[in-house]
Structure 1
Amino acid sequence: MYKKISNIAEREFIENELGIKYKFPRLYTPSSVIDGTQEATLSIITMDNPDHILYAIWGLLPDNYEGEWSDFQKALDTLNVPKENLNSKGIFKEPYYKRRCLIIVTGFFIYHLHNGTLYPYYVYLDDKKPFYIAGIYNILDDGFITCSMLMTKTSGVVNKIQNLSSTMPIFVPNNLSDVWLNSKTDMDEIDYILNLPNKLKLRAHPIAKEFFKNDISYESMLEPVYYEGIPLV
Structure 2
Amino acid sequence: MCFSTSLRKEKRVIEMVRATEIQFHIEFKPFFRANGFAHPNLWIVKQDEQDKLYPATWGYVPPFASDDPKGFYAKYNTLNAKSETIFTSNTYKHSIHDKRCLILSDGFHEPHKVKNVSYPYFCRYFDDAMFCFAGLYSELDDGSLTCTIITMNANEQFEKIHNVKKRQPLILQSNLEDDWLDDIHEPHLKDLMKEGFTTKPIEAYPVSRDIYKRNVDSNNRLAIDRVDYPELNQQDTLF
Question: TM-score higher than 0.5 here?
Answer: yes
AA at the equivalent of 1:57: T
Alignment of 1:16-27 (within 5 A): 16-24=16-24, 27=27
* Aligned match of 1:189: 188
* Aligned match of 2:46: 46
Distance, in Å, in 2 between the alignment partners of 1:194 and 1:217 is: 30
* Aligned match of 2:210: 210
Q: Are the counterparts in 1 of residues 95 and 138 from structure 2 also a CA contact under 8 Å?
A: yes
- Give the one of 220, 223, 230 matched to 1:228: 230
Alignment of 1:8-157 (within 5 A): 8-24=8-24, 27-157=27-157
Q: Among the aligned pairs, what percent are the same residue? A: 25
- Give the secondary structure class of the aligned counterpart of 2:189: helix
AA at the equivalent of 1:223: D
User: Aligned in 2, Cα 1:25/1:74: closer, same or farther, shift over 3 Å?
Assistant: closer
Question: Which residues of structure 1 form unaligned runs of 5+?
Answer: none
Q: Are the counterparts in 2 of residues 155 and 198 from structure 1 also a CA contact under 8 Å?
A: no
Give, in angstroms, the shift of residue 220 of structure 1: 4.7
Give, in angstroms, the shift of residue 160 of structure 1: 1.6
- Give the secondary structure class of the aligned counterpart of 1:96: coil
Task: Output one character per residue of 1:173-229: Cα deviation in whole Å (capped at 9) or x when no partner.
Answer: 22111111112x233222221011541211010011222235346545443211123
Distance, in Å, in 1 between the alignment partners of 2:99 and 2:187 is: 16
Question: Which residues of structure 2 form unaligned runs of 5+?
Answer: none
Aligned length: 232
User: Aligned in 2, Cα 1:142/1:120: closer, same or farther, shift over 3 Å?
Assistant: same
Give, in angstroms, the shift of residue 76 of structure 1: 1.8
* Aligned match of 1:5: 5
Give, in angstroms, the shift of residue 94 of structure 1: 2.1
Task: Output one character per residue of 1:49-93: Cα deviation in whole Å (capped at 9) or x when no partner.
Answer: 111111111111123534443321222211101111211140211
- Give the secondary structure class of the aligned counterpart of 1:127: coil
- Give the secondary structure class of the aligned counterpart of 2:96: helix
User: Aligned in 2, Cα 1:25/1:129: closer, same or farther, shift over 3 Å?
Assistant: farther
- Give the secondary structure class of the aligned counterpart of 2:229: coil
TM-score under structure 2 length normalisation: 0.89
User: Aligned in 2, Cα 1:224/1:67: closer, same or farther, shift over 3 Å?
Assistant: same
Distance, in Å, in 2 between the alignment partners of 1:27 and 1:151 is: 28
TM-score under structure 1 length normalisation: 0.91
- Give the secondary structure class of the aligned counterpart of 2:63: coil
User: Aligned in 2, Cα 1:42/1:161: closer, same or farther, shift over 3 Å?
Assistant: same
* Root-mean-square deviation over aligned CA pairs: 1.9
